Structure 1
Amino acid sequence: MTWVAHARTLAREIIRPESRWHSALAEVPRHQFVVNWWERQGESWALRSGPADPPAWMATTYSDQTLVTRIGTSHADRARPGDALSDGTPTSSSTLPSLLVRMYRHAMISDNDQILVTTGSGYGTALACVRLGDNYVTSIDVDEHLVHTAQDRLSLLGMRPQLEVCDITGPLPRKYDRIVSTLSIRSVPASWLQALRPCGRLVTTIAGTGLILTADKTSDGGATGRIEWDRAGFMPARHGADYEPLPTDAWKQATETEGGESYTSRYPLLYPPDAWDVMSMLELKIPGIQYHRSEEKGLRTVVLRHPDGSWARADTADFLTSPTVHEGGPQRLWTELEKIRNRLNREGTLPLYGARVTITPEGETTLTRGAWTATL
């Protein structure tokens, strides 16, 4: 099976040939790390098998897109042809190659840097091995199957980085010059700061946002940096086989109840994940909100829900009519969303990108820009 031409085309589309990451993209066979994957079909997930359709395998794996390899606890590699999942949340994937390269470039990696990366499919680990050499790369994941599968696939290519089963938010195996996490976190774990060498650099994203955080270790054991003028979103780091589910009645309450407070919004209906700046600002204020949208019989509905029982629902017949909002629970989710939209309309921007980041040795992470501040 010829894959080299596909890889070279992908590299050419993503980055200039003089970049040191260009050769890594051109030389790593991504299809060997994504043999099977889950593909969204409406509200369900269908299994796609590369060997069952080689042309589609090449076209898909050498396109610049994220491929989901695990839903809940269901690994695509362990599924059978024809399998489908009625629902579920993605818990692992092969990140789109251009974003992997952007994260690595934010890390400002130099030759001889010891780096820690997250495993997933193993493709990003392979890119780092080509760029630096196996001896400089440590790759970890909380999922034993993912680590062992990636190790086998890397070995077939003659790559033998250090791979370990490890929760990235806990103690880390050794010391590093760079930590690059393609999992998102709420605040920087203290273990990262302990594992970083003097002047070491970390790169990650803040969970539930589109914010890329970079920071350099300081002499007091903390770190300083900024929110980059760039956007990315990753799955939140998990600490076990799956994410903690919301209470089953939370969804029913949010979608069906007529209780709580109600009012007419002053703004057109918005699905926050379509507006990353707004969603990011809301997540910093109220972390953990989940979103859902639907359209039935001409009625468009957006639902917000939170693990503490807070919920909000807004619906309208068209985008020109202001939606009717219902909300209840300990916090007023849509009201907070409206405040953010008010600020955006008033100031023309939100104080996120370019914000200064200060991290204490204990991991308390504070963002500031002008008079605005948020502590994670």
Structure 2
Amino acid sequence: MDVDWKPYARRMADAVLHRRESRWWDPLASTPRHVFVPRWWERGTDGRETRDGAADPEAWMKTVYEDTTLVTRMGARHADHAASGTPLPSGLWPTSSSTLPALLVILYRHAMLGETSRTLVTTGTGYGTALLCRRLGDPQLVTSIDIDPYLVQAATERLDTIGLNPRTETRDITGPLPGQYDRIISTVSVRPIPASWLTALRPGGRLVTTVADTGLLLVADKSEDGGAQGYITGDRASFMRTRQSDDYDTVSPGPEVWAAADDDGETVTTSRYPVLDVQNTWDIRSMLELEAPGIEHRFRRSPEGPRTMLMAHPDGSWARASAPDRNASPLVHQGGTRRLWDALESIRDRLNRTGELPVHGATVTITPDGTTTLTRGRWSATL
């Protein structure tokens, strides 16, 4: 390849960190991200399609050295194995990616790495593992695991091409871990914290992860009782959930539930709150997921102004809120065994009344068996 990647990497490091004095600037500027992302799934007019970097090296460099997440696996399909431009069938979810570099740096900073911190990290493409090896200076301090054998093999080979040889293994991160560590950093989300992490974490060690299906970034230090104490950070982060097979074994609302959500409801009310795109909020979405797990959301907005939000749950409950524009009071239809909009409205009432939600800065307590409880004032939620 004739394109010089280093200027692109340096520009990305400048954009992410702003100051070259950062200890993360050199790892970002000196790690060839394109080596770890030769192909990826990109949104096209007909859904996700594969992109082959080598087919257009200039576009490849511009894409991979942007501070963005690049999806490399959809369902059980690796971009590495798909022909360029291949469209995907609908209904597949992303199952692996190269995380945007700025978010990796945020996680690593929360880990408070020491110069000799033995660290377990999740593999994915291997790019995050490479950054960690560069930062610590000794790849032997790093163990990188993933449940997908191909991802581990590909990442190991690509790490080797740039002179890095951390320990890599095919492992389910929710199961037994291959060693003892000062830091565990997971770029897949969990709920609750796996007990195996506490077993593998050394006294005083720190874990950094996200809570599944929320935007909550959790940091906790191992305590003397074998559990851990920590907090929810002010940074927002959301990662793919852990999986135990080639694809997610999820229970989603059936098409009949979504069809019902477009019909008349058993209860019809007018809300004082505007229609909200819940998926693109952080605190509200996270609170709702903690208090009423498993709700899926859809949001429709037309150029003329009408907005519609739909909520559906696998138990058959649903809600639809529609308004002619963003400031109008919506008409709300609800059906099924629970009133999903009412649960959302209760959270918005609390936000309106107090100006914040308790997930901000919540204290985290983890027992040795992994039971994870978030607390702030009189509010608490057990994952």
CA contact (8 A) 1:172 1:195 kept: yes
Supply the AA of the counterpart residue of 1:194. Answer: T
The CA deviation at 1:259 is 4.0
Match of 1:112 among 102, 105, 116: 116
Identity rate, percent: 55
CA contact (8 A) 1:38 1:67 kept: yes
CA contact (8 A) 2:253 2:315 kept: no
Residue 9 of structure 1: aligned partner: 11
Spell out structure 1 runs of 4+ moving beyond 3 A. 247-257, 295-299
Residue 161 of structure 1: aligned partner: 166
SS at match of 2:24: helix
Residue 263 of structure 1: aligned partner: 269
SS at match of 1:104: helix
CA contact (8 A) 2:9 2:30 kept: yes
CA contact (8 A) 2:231 2:363 kept: yes
Supply the AA of the counterpart residue of 1:142. Answer: I
Pair 1:336-2:343 in alignment: yes
The CA deviation at 1:34 is 0.8
Residue 90 of structure 1: aligned partner: 94
Supply the AA of the counterpart residue of 2:237. Answer: A
| Cα distance in 1, alignment partners of residues 261 and 95 from structure 2 | 25
Mark the runs of 5 or more structure 1 residues left unpaired by the alignment: none
The CA deviation at 1:76 is 0.9
The CA deviation at 1:290 is 1.7
Match of 2:193 among 154, 174, 188: 188
Supply the AA of the counterpart residue of 1:62. Answer: Y
| Cα distance in 2, alignment partners of residues 120 and 104 from structure 1 | 16
Further displaced range: 197-206 or 86-95: 86-95
Query: How much is the aligned-residue C-alpha RMSD, in angstroms?
Result: 1.7
Supply the AA of the counterpart residue of 1:308. Answer: D
Residue 366 of structure 2: aligned partner: 359
The CA deviation at 1:167 is 1.2
Q: Normalising by the residue count of structure 2, what TM-score does the alignment of the two structures yield?
A: 0.94
1:85-132: CA deviation from partner (whole Å, max 9, x where unpaired)? 242211111000010011001000101111010111110001011112
| Cα distance in 2, alignment partners of residues 244 and 289 from structure 1 | 16
| Cα distance in 1, alignment partners of residues 328 and 336 from structure 2 | 26
Q: Normalising by the residue count of structure 1, what TM-score does the alignment of the two structures yield?
A: 0.96
| Cα distance in 1, alignment partners of residues 20 and 303 from structure 2 | 51
Residue 77 of structure 1: aligned partner: 80
CA contact (8 A) 1:250 1:305 kept: no
Pair 1:59-2:62 in alignment: yes
Further displaced range: 322-331 or 138-147: 322-331
SS at match of 1:25: helix
Pair 1:370-2:377 in alignment: yes
1:155-208: CA deviation from partner (whole Å, max 9, x where unpaired)? 111211111111111111111110001111121111110110111100001112
SS at match of 2:159: helix
Supply the AA of the counterpart residue of 1:95. Answer: T
CA contact (8 A) 1:115 1:137 kept: yes
1:117-155: CA deviation from partner (whole Å, max 9, x where unpaired)? 011111000101111221011111111111111111111
The CA deviation at 1:344 is 0.6
Further displaced range: 79-88 or 139-148: 79-88
